[in-house]
Structure 1
Amino acid sequence: MLRREMLFGAALAATLPALGARPAAAQPKQAGWPRALTMGTAAPGGTYALYGPAWGQMAQEATGVAISYRTTQGPNQNILLVERKEVEIGMTTMGVALQAWEGKGDWTQGKKFREIRALFPMYDTPFHGIALKRSGITRFEQLAGKNIGVGPRGGTPGTYFPIIMDTLGYKPAAVRYGSGSDMAGQLQDGLLDAYLFASGVPVPSFSEAETQGEVTFLDFTEAEVAKLTAALPELSPGTISASTYRTAGRDLRVVGMFNFAIAHRSLGEDLVYAIVKAVMDNNAQLVQAIAAARETVPANAGKNGFLPFHPGAARYFREKGISLPDRLVAA
């Protein structure tokens, strides 16, 4: 799967201009639609960097609106950029979105971000980690006093893993931030004792790491899951199948949160409807590009219980028979 996703990314790179530049596209299919949109994605090594261009390409083909991609630190920065309309579309986990909507996360500085709207459900983000087998680390509690890497500072794992470790009472010696590929490299070089991450599975950088040496996958005990879900209600218990990674050897007990695509509320209703329809009606095509898209289906719209859907997205889901309360639809 990793090889297929890497090949897809390479194909996109070959057909699109440099990241951040707007690709040429045909005239938009409806008058009044913008000629181009920019999507906030994330740093290399995580799922957003692959998933974003996959659905963006589908949306571009369906609408005639050119979509370019801006590398970001992840959900936090995507929300900031969409709120400011520096990008029009992006992706986030719902835990980070809840912090933004309520203005309660430290990174929000008390500001409520109310310009963002939900587009469609993407996939669940399970929190788990890896350590080199030779380290002898097999449990999260052994990370007390150790050096851990948690991905980009503005991403979901960078935001939540420090909270998770604090909630469990496991104080690491140091928490380091960086791209997924950088974290994996630091682990192999012995600069990190563990690399903890959260994204769609399989995490590309985890899959790459297990091809470079023996690793141990880190998950949570039943008691840890109970403690985390009680303290952080945006987290839910889950399982990663043993077959997800080549060397996991067992099912992994995890906590996770769902991801959603988002947009600025000012985008036109018909354009958003066309984008959502293009993605949701062609799940098999999206899954061919990235395995995490197996969960990108209309039924998972219910995973959002607080962030208003864009009216164009709400129209699509209601046509599909998905019940959305009026409080979750806003202009």
Structure 2
Amino acid sequence: MKITNTLIAATAVAGLAGTAFAEAHMDRDGWPESFTVGTASQGGTYFAYGSGWANLVAEELGISGGGEVTGGPMQNMALVHTGDAQFGMTTMGPAKESLDGTNPIAPGLQMTGACAMFPMYQTPFSVTALSSSGIETIADIPDGAKIGFGPAGSTSDTYFPRMMDALGVNYDRRNGGWSDLGGQLQDGLLDVIAFAAGVPVPAVSQLEVQTDVNIIEFTEEEQATLLGEFPVSEFDIAADTYTTLEAPARSVSMWNFSIANCDLPESFVNAVVDIVMSDNERMVNIHRAAASTLPENWDKNKVLKWHPGAARWFKENAGADIPDDMIHGM
């Protein structure tokens, strides 16, 4: 599988801080000369978050690296499994489907070459419409509404149509990058966008600046239906996430994890995890969703085997009780 998308921020020059950190990680046997992080489409949280931590790691370690525009979690599992990308980002649902061999990118292939690296954040599922549409609830979505579900193969595209089916919504399915879908919503080409992305979603924040929108929460009954049928958890989108919200919005969410090719050197992955997990303030400056990128959230991974370098970091620094059968190669 060949990466063909443009590498974003491909090279970061090491400064004094990077040199000092690099000296603390002198065991570089087998390290790659450069790396890429599979993210998702521009305008979404994966792109901003992933490109940010890729540049941080590149600067600290003094090697070339950056974020790659991809189709999102499903494609990232495939790219990391094959080694076409050293790192990527995925959610627990697509990760499980990929391990089970039901990833639509390569049906039947069990993508066991992708290992857990560190917890990122929860992905809320939320629905946005223009205020002028009159759509204020899920029940208001008209029959045959044109709904943008994000890039094909993304977490949103994989799960949100099934969720809409479960909630009895009849729709015309559309795909595209979040920025493009936001423009289509504003131009009246879409009725609704169904976002599955870390909040605040850049495309929604941009829409708020340009027009009036409704961020639609699930009712208690709708939330209960989704909790019963999908691998999701309860989640409230905080009122201060968007200027549009006046109170928390009821939602559901799915955990995101960064992944690494399982064959990468243990010392390399350990160094990357150390950079990301040792200074949460820097990560939050990259994206607010990183407020959940905390060592204690290691236990949210119930699906993927851990990369040995990552497992060692969490055992030594977070008291993680990771069983041997959940660590690659053990």
Establish whether TM, by shorter chain, passes 0.5: yes
Counterpart residue number, 1:11: none
Counterpart residue number, 2:67: 69
Offset at 1:52? 0.9
CA distance in 2, matches of 1:83, 1:75: 12
CA pair 107-33 structure 1, distance change in 2 beyond 3 A: closer
SS in 2 for 1:230: helix
Identity between Structure 1 and Structure 2 (%): 43
Counterpart residue number, 1:214: 212
Offset at 1:106? 4.3
Counterpart residue number, 2:80: 82
Contact preservation (8 Å) 1:305, 1:328: no
Contact preservation (8 Å) 1:62, 1:275: no
Offset at 1:105? 4.6
Contact preservation (8 Å) 1:62, 1:274: no
Counterpart residue number, 1:195: 193
CA distance in 2, matches of 1:35, 1:19: 15
* Pair 1:278 & 2:275 matched: yes
Counterpart residue number, 2:11: 23
CA distance in 1, matches of 2:199, 2:121: 9
Counterpart residue number, 2:146: 147
* Pair 1:289 & 2:286 matched: yes
Counterpart residue number, 2:119: 121
* Pair 1:241 & 2:229 matched: no
SS in 1 for 2:328: coil
The Cα offsets for residues 157-216 of structure 1, whole Å up to 9 and x where unpaired, read as 1111111111222121x1111111111111111111111111111111011111111111
SS in 2 for 1:37: strand
Counterpart residue number, 2:256: 259
SS in 1 for 2:7: coil
Contact preservation (8 Å) 1:63, 1:271: no
CA pair 247-21 structure 1, distance change in 2 beyond 3 A: closer
Offset at 1:31? 3.9
The Cα offsets for residues 17-65 of structure 1, whole Å up to 9 and x where unpaired, read as x735842656975243221112111111101111112111222233233
Counterpart residue number, 1:160: 159
* Pair 1:38 & 2:36 matched: yes
SS in 2 for 1:160: helix
TM-score (norm 1): 0.90
SS in 2 for 1:58: helix
Amino acid at match of 2:235: G
Contact preservation (8 Å) 1:99, 1:108: no
CA distance in 2, matches of 1:24, 1:122: 22
Contact preservation (8 Å) 1:79, 1:90: yes
Amino acid at match of 2:215: F
CA distance in 2, matches of 1:134, 1:196: 17
Moved more, 304-313 or 317-326: 317-326
TM-score (norm 2): 0.90
Counterpart residue number, 1:170: 169
Contact preservation (8 Å) 2:9, 2:65: no
CA distance in 1, matches of 2:61, 2:118: 17
CA distance in 1, matches of 2:84, 2:8: 12
Offset at 1:249? 1.6
Contact preservation (8 Å) 2:36, 2:54: no
CA distance in 2, matches of 1:106, 1:39: 21
SS in 2 for 1:52: helix
Offset at 1:107? 4.5
Contact preservation (8 Å) 2:277, 2:293: yes
Contact preservation (8 Å) 2:238, 2:247: yes
* Pair 1:99 & 2:107 matched: no
CA distance in 2, matches of 1:282, 1:221: 37
